[in-house]
A and B are shown apart, each in its own frame.
Chain A
Amino acid sequence: MSKRGDTSAALKSAPSENLVSVLKKFYDEYMTSTSKRLKIVDAYLVYILFTGVIQFVYCALVGTFPFNSFLSGFISTVGSFVLAVCLRLQVNPQNKTDFVGISPERAFADFIFAHVILHLVVINFIG
């Protein structure tokens, strides 16, 4: 998350405070300085994360019997998470210099395309 690093760089200069206040500061900065778009993508990321965690807990609880199903579900969440992160990176206007020639629309199109392929594989593997 180095791109949010420049906001937290400002925090580091402040006197060292305990963890809670750091987190609170972080949260406030985030809320104010991130654009709505990015917040939408972040919400999506959180959702994916929860889904993955719950799947993992279920597998840990009842065992891996249809292992392929567990794997496919888990990989679906992991893959979606990764693709969403890529989308966020490419769409963030602060990173424009790193992604020359890739407009946000292009990034979104890539995101959709990759998802189509990912879900084909996931459905194949789910058994």
Chain B
Amino acid sequence: FPVGDTQKVLSEAIKDSVPVADIFYAFSALKNLGLQVDNAKVTSALTEALKKDDSPQSAGYGFFVASQLTGDTKKIFDSIEDVVAQADEVDDKYLQFEGGLYTTALVVDGAYKLAAKEKKAPTMSDDKVVKFANYFLSRKHVHQLRAAYQLVSVIKTLTDNQFHIPVAITLASPVAVTSSSPNVKVQVTNLLGGSIGSLTVTADSAKHISSEAIVLSKKPFTSKDSSTYELNFMQAKPVRGFYKIIISAKPSKEDKKLLGLTGAEVEVKVTTQVSIENVEIGVADKDQTTAARTTKVQYPGKASTVFEADYHQKIIVKFQLKDKADGTKMSAHQTFLKLTNQKTNQEIIFVADAASNKFDLDIGSSAGQFGHLSGKYSMELIIGDAVIENPFSWALGEVNLNFPEGQTPKDKGLDRYAKKPEIKHLFREPEKRPAAVVSTVFTFLVLAPVLILVLLWMKIGVNVSNFPMSLSAVGFHLCLAAIFGLYYLYWVELNMFQTVRYLGLLALPTFIFGNRLLSGIASKRKGEKKV
């Protein structure tokens, strides 16, 4: 591998005014190529660069470089504490730097590598390390490739460094704990899932999440293999529901390095089988609260007679759910009554009243949902819940529903996803205009009075011969004609601004000519009068 100028280029890249990242890359390249490195120069360049830029990311690069330098890097090592103090705590559980996953992983990884060189634990408190570890474990979905690389690197460092090894306690059995599988299994390992030696694992407490009852305390787990531990949870006879188990572990050999050994939380749910009893089905009138006659049905049988109900009445279904494990009454999240039209297979589902476990089906008011289709419907009761192991759908019987005739069944209900009918846009129809003939006739009619005017003027004897052939007269009349010509242009194509401008231009000569003409006429008239 010809080295050539590489040594020169890389060494010269490390100077006093260069950013930390550049120093890191040049230095690592030199080290990887096995080339000569001027340690003193690198140290001074690094210290300068770190003084100028104290962001966590640069600090991380600085740690990496320092961990491979020979010489005094104590100052950089001491800065670990300050850099870690810049991290933000989230939710009381996570610790991260503003730069995100890459920066956080870079800093932590670099700190441990430098610590390994200095043979001193990095100045980070235990709970800070645990919070960093929580953060790394929560970022399993990574966006950048370099962040992925750095994440893997830091996790590895956190499993095999000499100072802090965070311990992960994870649930290894299915979340549901039942009487048939009563054991809760946990794995106690380092961050990569490797064994950390033998430990005694104890369940400090198990709390029911909704009722806050404590079910057990200080029960030990039995060790199944080097990292798996087991506890028979059902021995404590827990009530069905969700539980939080708090676990702590103690290594059999005292190991100061292990962190996060107490306060680990694991969530399980205890499920149970449900039995349904005292099922009564009845048909009552709308205003009654209980049915006069009810039919009792036993699970999983079916009612022998077909019920009859019409739209004045309502169907009442009552039942009771019992926890098979301890015989207590229980309620389920999903209690549905499904009626299926036997001819059209249309299903209509109703929800029971959760508190009283009763269905009150008013046929009249829910007629719309049935589409007003009378006929035989089969009834099914559906029971389910997160903690019920044996949810079921039970065919109770059949009912004949009668809706008043004549109601138009609602049309199949426009298929929501089919094409909607096309909307035809009607442009505004233009107003009706009169026939062209009419307009033309009237145009001439309107212009006709001009002829009348001319006639009348001739009859009166208009004095056209007295027209003074002076410039002003001609000019005045021409300008006036021009103004009205301008108006015609305005109508046809000009806009107001142009018209007013031209008008202004024309107004001047018009005024001058007019003034002169009229004053001429006036003086002539006065002259005549005087005479």
Contacts and interface: CB of A to CB of B under 8 A. Distances in A.
Interface of A: 36, 39-40, 43-44, 46-48, 50-51, 54-55, 58, 61-63, 65, 103-106, 108-109, 112, 116, 119-120, 123-124, 126
A61 B518 CA distance: 44
Contacts of B448: 50, 54
Contacts of A62: 434, 438-439
A55 B442 CA distance: 8
Given A36-B461, A124-B490, A54 B442 contact: yes
Interface string B210-225: 0000000000000000
B496 A124 contact: yes
Contacts of A109: 514-515, 518
Given A43-B453, A47-B452, A105 B490 contact: no
B496 A119 contact: no
Interface in B23-60: none
A103 to B, nearest CB: 6
A54 B453 contact: no
B490 A123 contact: yes
A40 B457 CA distance: 6
Contacts of A105: 518-519, 521-522
Chain B interface, >50% SS class = helix
Given A65-B432, A106-B518, 7 more contacts: A46-B449, A54-B442, A62-B439, A65-B433, A104-B525, A105-B521, A109-B518
B461 A47 contact: no
A103 B522 contact: yes
B479 to A, nearest CB: 10
A112 B496 contact: no
Contacts of A123: 487-488, 490-491
B426 interface: no
Contact of A126 (B445, B461, B491): B491
Interface string B458-502: 001111000000000000000010011001101100001001000
A46 B518 contact: no
Contacts of B445: 54, 58
Contacts of A120: 487, 490, 499, 503
B414 interface: no
B456 interface: yes
B450 interface: yes
B490 A61 contact: no
Interface of B: 431-434, 438-439, 442, 445-446, 448-450, 452-453, 456-457, 460-463, 480, 483-484, 487-488, 490-491, 496, 499, 503, 507, 514-515, 518-519, 521-522, 525
A104 B518 CA distance: 9
Nearest to A106: B518
Nearest to A73: B446
Nearest to A65: B431
A40 B463 CA distance: 10
A36 B514 CA distance: 23
A54 B449 contact: yes
Contacts of B456: 43, 46-47
Contacts of B487: 119-120, 123
Contacts, number: 76
A39 B460 contact: yes
A113 B432 CA distance: 38
A32 B521 CA distance: 26
Contacts of B483: 116
A109 B511 CA distance: 9
A4 B431 CA distance: 48
B446 A54 contact: yes
12 contacts: A40-B460, A43-B453, A46-B456, A54-B446, A58-B442, A62-B434, A65-B431, A65-B433, A106-B518, A109-B514, A109-B518, A123-B488
Nearest to A48: B449
Contacts of A103: 522
Nearest to B495: A124
| Across the A-B interface, the 9 shortest Cβ-Cβ residue pairs | A43-B456, A47-B453, A105-B518, A62-B434, A50-B449, A105-B522, A58-B442, A123-B487, A47-B449
A17 B281 CA distance: 108
A60 to B, nearest CB: 11
B84 to A, nearest CB: 79
Contacts of A124: 490, 496
Given A61-B438, A124-B496, A119 B450 contact: no
Contacts of A55: 446
B480 A112 contact: yes
Nearest to B518: A105
Contact of A47 (B450, B491, B518): B450
A119 B74 CA distance: 97
A65 B483 CA distance: 29
B181 to A, nearest CB: 88
Nearest to B500: A120
A16 to B, nearest CB: 32
Contacts of A46: 449, 452-453, 456
A55 B433 CA distance: 16
